[in-house]
Chains A and B, each alone.
Chain A
Amino acid sequence: MEEDRKVVIELQDVKRYFKVGSETVKALRGVSFKIHEGEFVTIQGTSGSGKSTLLNQLGCLDTPTSGEYFLDGVAVRKMSKNQRAHLRNQKIGFVFQNYNLLANTTAVENVELPLMYNSKYSARQRREAAVKALQAVGLGDRLNHKSNQMSGGQMQRVAIARALVNDPTILLADEATGNLDTRTSFEMLVLFQKLHAEGHTIIFVTHNPEIAEYASRNINLRDGMIKEDTVNTNIKSAAEALAALPLPQDD
């Protein structure tokens, strides 16, 4: 591991327990790791192993029961709800499994959404940033298409553009390709690899073990603990894999 790069995420024995009735569900039982700037990490594990719970921690949507989480050097656990909202707004880009776009709203308006909650942006700067983000995901020609007029892949691109628009410290994706067909999934992977190459720090939760081959590091969870943490030195190119896929039959 190249230790000279900046640490953007540091978890110290993070535990997350849920009280369900009289029982306690231990979703995370003590997770510790560091993620450096520019890493492309996949998080894998069986269903119920705590992947989403972990990602919610990283995305400051939730706070640990115990343990510490430092994002960009800032301790998150003791933050108030509002401070976390602010942090999400400034430092985190979240791509959700089922896109989560605003219905009946154009691509550019969807992408503008996080900046609406940032008073530093004027209406013009907001529009400019949104257009730039959409161009980065290859939707420069679909700015004013409404969310319900787009394909799944296009919607996911809009969601990625929305996650990028605030120039976040980390980009988080929970099953971002879960709802897409193989071809579109690879298109997304190409996009993520491109973003990785541009220097973004990406954390990608997935069921699909294949995807780990396209990332720089893989963390495997089981029962709320890290089972395996491996660095991938032989990163495959998603663009090549996409080119190797059989072309879709159009009839």
Chain B
Amino acid sequence: MNIINLIKVSITAVAANKMRSFLSTLGIIIGVGAVIAMMSIGQGAKQNIRAELSTMGSNLLTIRPGADNGPGGVRKDPSAMQTLKLSDYQSLSQNREFVKYVSPEVMASGQVVYGNKNATTTVYGESEEYPDMKQWKVEQGVAFTQDDVRRSAKVCLVGKTVVDNLFGEGADPVGKVIRFKSIPLSIVGVLKSKGYNSWGMDQDDVIIAPFTCVMKRIAAQNYFSSINCSAVSEELSDAAMKEIQHKLRENHKIKDASGDSDDFSVRSMAEMMEAIGSTMDMVTLILGIAAGFSLLIAGIGIMNIMLVSVTERTKEIGLRMAVGATGFVISVQFLIEAIVISVTGGIFGVLLGLGASNTIMPLVGLPSVVPTWAIVLSFCICVAIGCIFGYLPARKAANMDPIEAIRHE
């Protein structure tokens, strides 16, 4: 008997029992649908986060004080967090090779006042290179200069939210003087609006001032909370990182080049994207496995139905054997039946998953990403389920004795 005949016979048998076949397909439909939807959620979230990170600048590097204890590491005493000094900034600024921009960072939160209006915001002390590094345009006015930094000038750039809060929407604040913790800062420019980031932080609620000014006049500290750099290009991030580590170790008199005794840590955005990407892959995998369990249950359902079907059709099996079907042919017929059920379920499951992904993902503002490999994989899994869970019923059918089977009532 050729395989086309067998497939015909199997499809006829599946179609002869529409309700039962549908019910056993249902498990597969839901299982595959769930797997596809979960993949879509995981991969969509991954893509979204990556897209956002790359707008922040994929060539950025952040230097933080203290050894890199990894996520969740124990914090050292406060002095360990004060290792980034002015001398570090200076050596990083000089003789740049793979590093393009450097800006140290000092922060202070507090109230800013203009006239009778006030708002709570954060002042970031940065170098004059900061807007260029962050590719952040100054919309009105100009950025502060290197000279301003050298003089610790009381000037600042403000974000849109600060302007709106202190001056009202659409006002031109350039040239006005605001007070932060009673220190007067003269506004030299307004930064282009960036909106909220994906963590829900308002990126326009900032004041950027020369770091010298913030260190001396506002925060009164002689160390940086971090130093941001950008590499010449994303590909050269690693080289830039080496350059930074080398310079800082020299400054901090660290002989050990392995990084184990570093009192600072350098993280690149590329690395972070990598890390987030693999975290999201993990999340996708876990979601997928959870959904995959429903496929296992569905497979057991198919096996159950097929076993009942084999028993019910004992007489038919006996007859087929009596007219010349071998045990092998009978087992293949039942295997194909199981596969037909699971693959039909798989097709509808993929459609269900795609449909669910395309309706749900836009609602939560994520792109609907169903990787082709997920569809192909679900399909293969369906065939495998048919084979695995159809095997037992098929073998049971194949081992029947034709005389006994045909007498079966």
Which residues of chain A are near B329, meaning CB under 8 Å?
A: 117
Interface assignment of B326: CB less than 8 Å from any CB of chain A:
yes
B interface SS class: helix
Bound-state Cα–Cα, A118 to B321, Å: 13
Given contacts A96-B406, A102-B319, contact A114 B326 (CB under 8 A): no
Stretch of A39-47, A80-88, A214-222 with 4 or more beta carbons under 8 angstroms from chain B: A80-88
Interface assignment of B79: CB less than 8 Å from any CB of chain A:
no
Q: Judging by beta carbons under 8 Å apart, are B328 and A113 in contact?
A: no
In chain B, positions 1-22 with a C-beta closer than 8 Å to chain A are 1-2, 5, 9, 16
In chain A, positions 125-161 with a C-beta closer than 8 Å to chain B are none
Bound-state Cα–Cα, A104 to B14, Å: 13
Complex A-B: 17 CB contacts under 8 Å: A61-B403, A82-B326, A85-B321, A86-B324, A90-B324, A94-B323, A96-B319, A96-B322, A96-B406, A100-B319, A100-B406, A114-B323, A117-B1, A117-B320, A117-B325, A117-B326, A118-B324
Which residues of chain B are near A234, meaning CB under 8 Å?
A: none
Q: Judging by beta carbons under 8 Å apart, are A113 and B1 in contact?
A: no
Interface assignment of B390: CB less than 8 Å from any CB of chain A:
no
Bound-state Cα–Cα, A114 to B323, Å: 5
Please name the residue on chain B nearest to A122 by beta carbon: B2
A residues engaging B (CB < 8 A)?
56, 59, 61-62, 81-82, 85-86, 88-90, 94, 96, 100, 102, 104, 113-114, 116-119, 162, 166
Which residues of chain B are near A104, meaning CB under 8 Å?
A: 16
Which residues of chain B are near A100, meaning CB under 8 Å?
A: 315, 318-319, 322, 406
Please name the residue on chain B nearest to A96 by beta carbon: B406
Bound-state Cα–Cα, A100 to B317, Å: 11
Which residues of chain B are near A82, meaning CB under 8 Å?
A: 326-328
Q: Judging by beta carbons under 8 Å apart, are B324 and A61 in contact?
A: no
B residues engaging A (CB < 8 A)?
1-2, 5, 9, 16, 315-316, 318-329, 402-403, 406
Q: Judging by beta carbons under 8 Å apart, are A119 and B2 in contact?
A: yes
- State the Cβ distance, A74 to closest chain B Cβ, in Å: 15
Which residues of chain A are near B316, meaning CB under 8 Å?
A: 102
From A62, A81, A88, A119, contact of B323 by CB (8 A) = A88
From B1, B322, B328, contact of A94 by CB (8 A) = B322
- State the Cβ distance, A241 to closest chain B Cβ, in Å: 31
- State the Cβ distance, A243 to closest chain B Cβ, in Å: 34
Which residues of chain B are near A81, meaning CB under 8 Å?
A: 326-327
Bound-state Cα–Cα, A118 to B402, Å: 18
From A56, A62, A85, A96, contact of B324 by CB (8 A) = A85
Please name the residue on chain A nearest to B4 by beta carbon: A123
Q: Judging by beta carbons under 8 Å apart, are B5 and A116 in contact?
A: yes
Which residues of chain B are near A56, meaning CB under 8 Å?
A: 403
The 3 A-B residue pairs with the shortest CB-CB distance, nearest first, are A89-B324, A114-B323, A117-B324
Bound-state Cα–Cα, A100 to B409, Å: 11
Which residues of chain A are near B315, meaning CB under 8 Å?
A: 100
From B2, B5, B324, contact of A88 by CB (8 A) = B324
- State the Cβ distance, A170 to closest chain B Cβ, in Å: 14
Bound-state Cα–Cα, A62 to B401, Å: 9
Which residues of chain A are near B16, meaning CB under 8 Å?
A: 104
Q: Judging by beta carbons under 8 Å apart, are A61 and B402 in contact?
A: yes
